[in-house]
Amino acid sequence: MRWRSGLGGLVAAALLVGACATGAEPAGEAAPSSSTPTMVAGRQTQEGAQAPGAILLASSFEGAVCGRWRRPKAGCEFGVEGGVEAGPFGPRTGVQAVRIDRTSPNHMGVIADLPLPEGRAFIGVAHRVPAFSPAAIPPDPGHLQLEQLSVTDGELPGMALEVRLYPDRRLGLGLFRDDAVTMAEWAVPEDEWFYVVVEVANGAAATQRMWVFDEADQLKAQVEVALETRQSWAHEGRTAQKVGGSTASLEPLFTYADDWYVATELLGPLRIGEDGEPISS
């Protein structure tokens, strides 16, 4: 069975949830585009290519992650910040997953330098978070960052979007360095894979959406919020898409990631092969 047919019902269900929440199509000032030429680890798309779902990045972290994120070393699939490595850490797909040391002093994660066509995309990644004490979460800002997503094509000013993990194990969606957060009403399980897809859009009061799926790829939560993402500040024009964050845990804690993609369509919780191609689940 081809991966596309296996995901059809799931993606349709996720889209239906979003449509029922607002009764409207996704908002924002940017429209999806599949014509931007992009070279990224795990997959290459050429101008005019009709890749499934217009995938810009797809990886199950079967390659090495090493070196500075802007200039990964030869043979590295992605660059990193802090204590990050790929290895046989109970992966969701393939033989490797990424392990991120959350006690790194500052800035930890795996990063792809990837402009988003017109500042809009669907970004999906699997996470696994072992049990932790609420005391491991720093009181300021009160969460750990699982993802920091740049909402720009490299020219548009754009403030990064964050997927946050809170002490009660719920996920939140908010802007970088902004206290406001929209929460998902589902606590992620201990030491089990769950999948997060975020629709990011650059614009004034642009609609951002987040879908959360459990280990069996069942939709468990969905949130939607309008945010001012077209902002000029430290992240203006920065195109770094990051699985990780800049907030260190106060007690030893590792989090894990697998099956990362960036696309111009909602593709649900993909499983990705060693060659960067989606596979059936």
Domains of the chain: 3-279 (2.60.120.200)
- The token pair at 106 is 């500052």
Cβ burial of 101 (10 Å; 0-12, 13-18, 19+) is middle
| Predicted model pTM | 0.83
Number of separate helices (H) and strands (E) present in the chain: 1, 21
The answer to whether 208 and 201 have CB atoms below 8 angstroms apart is yes
Residue (of 81, 127, 118) closest to 245 by Cα position: 81
* pLDDT on residue 53: 67
Length of the chain counted residue by residue: 281
- Cα–Cα dist 96/142, whole Å: 30
* pLDDT on residue 172: 97
* pLDDT on residue 73: 77
Strands 97-101 and 108-113: unpaired
- Cα–Cα dist 119/33, whole Å: 10
Question: Please, what are the averages of pLDDT over each run of 10 residues along the chain (281 residues)?
Answer: 33 38 35 34 40 84 86 85 95 96 90 94 98 94 95 91 97 92 96 98 95 98 95 71 94 97 96 89 47
